[in-house]
Structure 1
Amino acid sequence: MAADGEERTSVRTYVPEYQKENWQSHADELDMSQSEFVRTMVQAGRSGFELPESDTGESSASAEETEPRSPGANPRGNGLKDRVVEALADGDHCDWDDLVAALTDDIEQRLDETLQELQSEGRVRYSGRHGGYVLDE
């Protein structure tokens, strides 16, 4: 039987279908259930956030002090460690650059897509004059 405060209950939310598919895909990559993935991402997003100050001006206890933490960011193991082992599984030697490339294979594509999206939203712009991207506020 679960200890006090350890009982499980459901939480329901509604997201666009594409977002659910993205979450499921990412959860599959991490060998996690979708519920486990969402719970982990919510807890990771809340890390370091403190409750607002009370009426007396004193800072309230952090969320971590007022409620138990969920398991770590990857309860089924170290995702990076698993990916390194997978990259080395063929038995060949892999130099540093090849290993970094294997672990970050889609980061350039994802970054390009994200920057395009942010630019189309008017949140980021590229300045040729300054040679880089900047928040467009």
Structure 2
Amino acid sequence: MSQEFPQPLNVSIEDHHAFIMECLRHVGTSEQHALIVADALVLTDSWGTFTHGSKLLSGYTSRVKHGGCRSDVDPEIVRDGPSWAIVDGNSTLGQVAATFAMRTAIGKARRAGMAYVGVHNSCHFGAAGVYSAMAADENMIGI
């Protein structure tokens, strides 16, 4: 007996992004947070890193829906210095906390020459390469 597998579904990047946004908004994620997560998942899928892309969407929406991740708060800097910061993710979606942290690190590195930013109290952030790419886009190295 042979098993038939479904044919792959080709979806435009725009439709893929819109679908992810709609799913996240449906469970109460803010427009801004949904945009950050959708951008990260679509970028990751476009790299072919499907293990950390939209495959994880159902888990993320479930966590938001059931209170495992919060979608009504933003991450915040709880301690910092000229070239470092500690961010409380406030249990937000990991992509939101990691994006906030990398933007903070880029700003501090621009002023101080280098920076370290750590995050605690957050959820899974997907592919780490998304945040390294943010630094690379600014001609910086992000690890």
Task: Tell me the TM-score normalized by structure 1.
Answer: 0.25
* Greater helix content: 2
* Greater strand content: 2
In terms of Rg, which structure is larger?
Answer: 1
Q: Which of structures 1 and 2 has the larger relative contact order (alpha carbons within 8 angstroms, sep 6+)?
A: 2
Task: Tell me the TM-score normalized by structure 2.
Answer: 0.24
